[in-house]
Amino acid sequence: MYQDRFGLRGKPFGNTPDPAFFYFSTDHRRALVTLSRGIQNRSGLMLLLGEVGTGKTTICCHVHDHAGYLSGYLNYPFLTELEFLQTVNKELGVPVGDGSRKSIMEELDRYLIKQHHEGKPVVLIVDEAHRLALPILDEILILSNLQLFNAHLLQIILAAQPPLLDTLQDPRLRSLNQRIDVRCNLPVMDRLSTIDYIGHRLAKAGCINPSLFSSGALDTIWKRSKGTPRLINQLGERALNEAYRKGKKGVGRREVTQVANDPLYQPLFGSKTKQWSTRAASAGALLALGVGVLFGLSHFGVGSKYLPGKIWEFSQVTAKHRTLIKKPINVPQLANKVEKEPENEGIVTQEGAVPVVAFDEAALASPDSQHIEITSLVEPQATVDLLPDLKLNAIAWDENSASSIAVLNDRIVHEGDFLKDVRVLRIKPNHVVLLQGDEHIIKRIHTPEEVQIAAERGMSGKAEKEETALSEANNDNRTEQAGSVLDFRPIINFSYRTSSMAPEAYIELERFAAIAKLSPEHEIIIRGYTDNVGSYRYNERLSRSRARIVQNYLVDQGINPERIRVIGMGEADPLMPNTSPEGRTVNRRVEVELVPVGDS
C-alpha cells in the first residue's frame, strides 16, 4: 500500500532471507569468510552461532547459493534418524538405494569420493541445529567420519542458537563437541551498522529519498530492536505503514515509538519507557539549577570569584587523536558570547567562531593517514566530483568513529548524518566518504602543493591517467607473458562485501599452482588489496582474509604452505582512483606472483 506514496518498487523490510536484500555487516562478513575458509580447508564440522534474528539463515542461504560449492540445506529438525539420512541424500542429489541405512551411506560415500577427486567441496547446512534431538546429533557425528586420511569429504555447518552449547556439554556428545573445528558467532548490530542496514534495504527497494526515515527514527529503531535484523525489519515495516496511514511524507521518531509501544508487539521491543518520571526529574534538576544561578547573580554579582565573568566560554571542538580542522566555523549568533582568548600555539580562533585545532597539535595514532605538515589555512583542492556545491571545510578525526566530526558547508556532521540527499558514511583523517543514491563520493582536504600540481596537470591529464589506469587494470594479467611462465601473475577480483572468487579464478589458480610446482626455488607472494570504503584496520584485515582464501586454495592444490607469504595491503596501491564504482571494483583484488627466494 505504501510503496507508491514513498516511491518504492517493493517492500524493503520483508522477513524472508531474500538474496536481493542481502546485507553483510562486519560481523556477517567475518562469519562468512570464516566458514568459506573452513570449507576450502575441508575442516569437516563447523558451528555458526547467533541469537534469534541475527542473520544465521541469511548466511546459510548465501553459502547454499554459492556457485563453487555443492550443497544441501536442511531446516526441519524434527526427523527420525532414517528420515534425516534420506533427506541428506535427497538434498545433495544422491540416490538412496533401497532406502536402508546401509544403502544410503554407501551411495553417499561413493558420491563424496567422486566429488573430492574432482576438487568440488560438498557442504551440508543444518539450520535450527539447537532443536535437534540427541540421536540426530549422533548421526551428524557419523557423517563427519566420512573422510580420507587428509581431508573430510563432507563439510557440515550447524547453524544454531546459543542453547546448542549447553546441549554439547552432554557427556554423550563429547566426541561431537571436540570435532567442531570452526566456530563463529553473529552478535547484534551496532548503531552505525543498523543505519547502514536500513539504508541498504531502502536503496534495494528503489528508495531515492535519503530522509524517508529521520535520524530520530533511525536511532529509535536501533534502541528498540537492540540491533537485531529481524526486529529492525518488523519495526521498519510497521513504521512505514503507520506513516502511510497518517498521510506523512516520511517516518519520524513518533511513528517508530508508537508501533513499538503497541501492546501486541511490546514484548518484542521492550516495555514502554517511563518518560514522565524522567521528564519530571530533569525538570526538577533544571529548576533547582536556575534558582541557584539567579540567587548567585543577585547575591554575589557577575565577576566575583564565585561567578567569574567567562561564564559563556565555549568548549573546544576536539578529539583524542586530532588530525585537522583548518577553517573556523562562523557562528554569528554566538559572537557576543565568546571572548577572544590569548594566542595559543596550535589553536586557531576568531570572534564568533568555534575554536579549532591545528594539524600538528598531536601525533596521529592511526596509520590511516597521510601526514602532511601544514602551517597555514588552506582550502580543499578543487577537483571535479558529483557534488561541487558541497564543500568540505574541516575534519577532526578520532579513533572512536562516534567522536569524529567533519564540517560540510559550515555544518558540523557525524558519521551517519544526512545533508539533504547526501549521507555521511565515513569520516577519515584527510577525507570523508559520502553516499548519494548508489554513488560513493570522496571529499578530500589537500595541501596547496597538491592544488598547484593538479592545476598544472589539468583535467585532460587526469582523464588520460584514469583511462590509462583502466586500460592497465583490464589488461589480461592472467595470460603468460613473453619470456617465461614465471611472469604469470593472476589477479583475483572480489565483489563488494563478499569473499567469493569467480569460477574462472579457480582455473587461473590451478594453472598458477602447476607452474609453482615446477619452480621449487621460488616462493609465492600473495598480496590482498581493497578499496577505501571502511576504516584502515578493517580494510587491512579484509585484504588479508581474501589473500588467505587464495592461499588455502593453493595449499589444496598441493603447494607447501611454507612457500607462501600472505600480505594484507589494505587500500594501498590502487590501480584506479576510488572515486568511481569502476575504480573500486578494480581495486578489490588479490595479486599472486612467484619470486626467487630471498628477493621478496
Three-state secondary structure string covering 485-515? HHHCCCEEEECCCCCCECHHHHHHHHHHHHH
Helix axes 215-225, 191-204, angle to 10 degrees: 110
CB neighbour class for 568 (10 Å; exposed up to 12, middle 13-18, buried from 19) = buried
Q: What is the residue whose three cell numbers read 540527499?
A: 421
Phi, psi of 569 (to 5 degrees): -90, -10
Q: Which of 195, 232, 212, 211 is nearest to 25 (CA)?
A: 195
Euclidean distance between CA atoms 555 and 561, whole angstroms: 6
* C-alpha cell read off for 502: 569467480
Predicted local distance difference test score (pLDDT) of residue 590: 92
Beta carbons of 265 and 234 less than 8 angstroms apart: yes
Helix axes 56-64, 26-40, angle to 10 degrees: 40
Beta carbons of 317 and 412 less than 8 angstroms apart: yes
Beta carbons of 427 and 401 less than 8 angstroms apart: yes
Euclidean distance between CA atoms 338 and 539, whole angstroms: 42
Entry field: residues in the chain: 600
Q: Which of 31, 303, 331, 294 is nearest to 187 (CA)?
A: 31
Contacts of 255 (CB under 8 A, 6+ apart): 217, 239, 242, 243, 246, 248
Predicted local distance difference test score (pLDDT) of residue 294: 65
- DSSP-assigned letters across all residues of 10-68: S-TT-SS--GGG----HHHHHHHHHHHHHHHTT--EEEEEE-TTSSHHHHHHHHHT-TT
Q: Which of 226, 222, 220 is nearest to 196 (CA)?
A: 222
Predicted local distance difference test score (pLDDT) of residue 497: 63
Q: In what order do the strands lie in the sheet with 439-444?
A: 418-419, 422-428, 431-436, 439-444
Contacts of 457 (CB under 8 A, 6+ apart): none
Beta strands in 144-186 (DSSP E): 155-160, 180-186
Predicted local distance difference test score (pLDDT) of residue 518: 80
Residue segments in the chain with a per-residue pLDDT below the cut of 70: 67, 266, 270-285, 291-385, 438, 446-487, 497-499, 598-600
Predicted local distance difference test score (pLDDT) of residue 286: 74
Amino acid identity, position 98: D
CA angle 344, 350, 356 (to 5 degrees): 60
* C-alpha cell read off for 48: 555458526
Euclidean distance between CA atoms 399 and 365, whole angstroms: 8
Predicted local distance difference test score (pLDDT) of residue 94: 93
Contacts of 594 (CB under 8 A, 6+ apart): 486, 488, 515, 516, 519, 522, 523, 524, 525
**Can you tell me whether residue 476 is helix, strand or coil?**
coil
Euclidean distance between CA atoms 443 and 413, whole angstroms: 14
Predicted local distance difference test score (pLDDT) of residue 335: 39
Euclidean distance between CA atoms 553 and 538, whole angstroms: 23
pLDDT digits (tens, 9 = 90+) for 496-527: 766 677 777 888 888 888 888 888 888 999 99
CA angle 78, 83, 85 (to 5 degrees): 110
Entry pTM? 0.47
